[in-house]
Structure 1
Amino acid sequence: MTALTTSFGRVRAVSDLTFDVPAGRVTGFLGPNGAGKTTTLRTLLGLVRQDSGTALIDGSRYVDLPDPVRTVGAVLESTAFHPGHSARVHLEALCLAARIPTRRAGEVLDEVSLLDAADRRVGGFSLGMRQRLALASALLGDPAVLVLDEPANGLDPEGIHWLRGHLRALAADGRTVLVSSHVLTELSLMADEVVVINDGHLLTRLPVTPDLERVYLDAIRAAR
């Protein structure tokens, strides 16, 4: 994205933000609560209109992608499920809408370790199971780009360990993975590098190193 600026009325949520996300790596998108991370991702995915600047995926705006489901998979929340539907029914409905073979539903459920719960109603899922189902939804089109907002919310330590390995495997397969979080320790074990923002502004871009916490906190303090 280049010089991205997005406002809500008089409140500027993102201001002149520029950074890119390379393929083959997990890029962490880091900042305190309210820093503008979710607004940036929603703008990237065409859910919010920017005031100025560009937010492109594979060189195009999201709304101009010819087959967005096969280009980018996104997880912005883990609650957009009909509680009476099973995980399999939910995913098969998405497959039909996107003209993807319904057998793909079972494949992604297996990929996120939910196959044993495929025919259970989503209303009985834990938050961690809903997070896995949201990731399965994002993977349906086998996209080259993944955009994930707080994907570890609700996961237990085993689930976080699984997510970390899974995302790194997807990046190693050549995919572009952008993961937003406000939890530094989580991203330090998951990402190759982090983009840090605060109050909608880019603060710095850092490789993940043992002193990441100190450098991150120094950057946040300096911006205040």
Structure 2
Amino acid sequence: MSAISVTHLGKSFGGVRAVDDLSFTVERGTLTAFIGPNGAGKTTTLRMILGLVTPTEGGAAIGGGPYRDLERPVSTVGAVLEATAFHPGLSARTHLEALRLAAGLEPGRVEHVLEQVDLTASAGRKVGGFSLGMRQRLALASALLGDPEILILDEPANGLDPEGMRWLRGFLRAYTHQGRTVLVSTHVLAEIQQIADHAIVLRAGRLAWQGPLSPETDLEELYMEVTA
């Protein structure tokens, strides 16, 4: 069974067709790059997979069923769709502790995820003073609290410096080496090519290309060809 499956998915906002008859699968244990120009429908698709937006047509499933039917959603899928949804007056640790309590997770999870994203030294600082890169790390820590099998990430490299990019690349590769699954939307093609197993390319809300990536694949060239 695929980790994520999208079947004839469509979404219209008024007269705007954001996603149009889109179908693809993300297999377990893979890192899949989800790419396309701005406005191609990537974020809308991710939101429909997570049940945050209702499709006009078709459907999306995580582990064979819709997100709303997951018995333990935080342990099945973690998501980062934006890195700004934090109360600026809370510390990183307090923010994560509130999420942990709401989800009924073990107390040790907060310190564990802070260490995973290299934020332990800044955990007592108020989030309002965080850089965008630090907010990205905190958003990822929030997604990791439930120790999920699947990660869905929308532009997780936004705001990261070169060192942060290298860290993220290593983290995601190690995550899939554990047999877990990552679907990541990104514009940083040179970085994602180094670690992705597969790619899904959208153009104007439709599937432009999908398939495995080999060391010989020039992802930027492929991207330009299928989105032209």
- Measured against the shorter chain, the TM-score band is over 0.9
Contact 2:8/2:57, CA 8 A, preserved across alignment: yes
Q: Which amino acid is the alignment partner of residue 43 of structure 1?
A: M
* Structure 2 residue matching 1:55: 3-state secondary structure: strand
Q: Which amino acid is the alignment partner of residue 128 of structure 2?
A: G
**Using the alignment, how far apart are the partners of 1:211 and 1:191 within structure 2?**
12
Check if 1:128 corresponds to 2:133: yes
Check if 1:31 corresponds to 2:36: yes
- Structure 1 residues 177-186 or 164-173, which shifts more? 177-186
Contact 1:77/1:149, CA 8 A, preserved across alignment: yes
Contact 2:89/2:127, CA 8 A, preserved across alignment: yes
Residue in structure 1 matched with residue 106 of structure 2 by the alignment: 101
**Using the alignment, how far apart are the partners of 1:193 and 1:178 within structure 2?**
10
Check if 1:49 corresponds to 2:41: no
Q: State the superposition RMSD in angstroms.
A: 1.0
**Using the alignment, how far apart are the partners of 2:166 and 2:221 within structure 1?**
23
Residue in structure 2 matched with residue 169 of structure 1 by the alignment: 174
* Structure 2 residue matching 1:18: 3-state secondary structure: strand
- Structure 1 residues 203-212 or 126-135, which shifts more? 203-212
Deviation at residue 103 of structure 1 after TM alignment:
1.9
Residue in structure 1 matched with residue 225 of structure 2 by the alignment: 218
**Using the alignment, how far apart are the partners of 2:176 and 2:49 within structure 1?**
20
Deviation at residue 201 of structure 1 after TM alignment:
0.2
**Using the alignment, how far apart are the partners of 2:84 and 2:219 within structure 1?**
32
Of 189, 192, 195, 2:200 maps to: 195
Of 62, 67, 88, 1:62 maps to: 67
TM-score scaled to structure 1, two decimals?
Answer: 0.96
Contact 1:131/1:152, CA 8 A, preserved across alignment: yes
Q: Mapping of 1:133-172 within 5 angstroms?
A: 133-172=138-177
TM-score scaled to structure 2, two decimals?
Answer: 0.94
Q: Which runs of 5+ in 1 are unaligned?
A: none
Q: Which amino acid is the alignment partner of residue 161 of structure 1?
A: R
**Using the alignment, how far apart are the partners of 2:195 and 2:218 within structure 1?**
15
- Structure 1 residues 211-220 or 95-104, which shifts more? 211-220
**Using the alignment, how far apart are the partners of 2:45 and 2:130 within structure 1?**
29
Q: Which amino acid is the alignment partner of residue 214 of structure 1?
A: E
Residue in structure 1 matched with residue 12 of structure 2 by the alignment: 7
Contact 1:128/1:153, CA 8 A, preserved across alignment: yes
Deviation at residue 210 of structure 1 after TM alignment:
3.8
Could you list the per-position Cα deviations for residues 136-171 of structure 1 after superposition, in whole angstroms to 9, with x for gaps in the alignment? 000000000100000000000000000001001111
* Structure 1 residue matching 2:105: 3-state secondary structure: coil
**Using the alignment, how far apart are the partners of 2:87 and 2:127 within structure 1?**
7
Deviation at residue 190 of structure 1 after TM alignment:
3.0
Contact 1:25/1:168, CA 8 A, preserved across alignment: no
Contact 2:199/2:210, CA 8 A, preserved across alignment: yes
**Using the alignment, how far apart are the partners of 2:57 and 2:99 within structure 1?**
32
Identity of aligned residues (%): 61
Residue in structure 1 matched with residue 94 of structure 2 by the alignment: 89
Q: Which runs of 5+ in 2 are unaligned?
A: 1-5
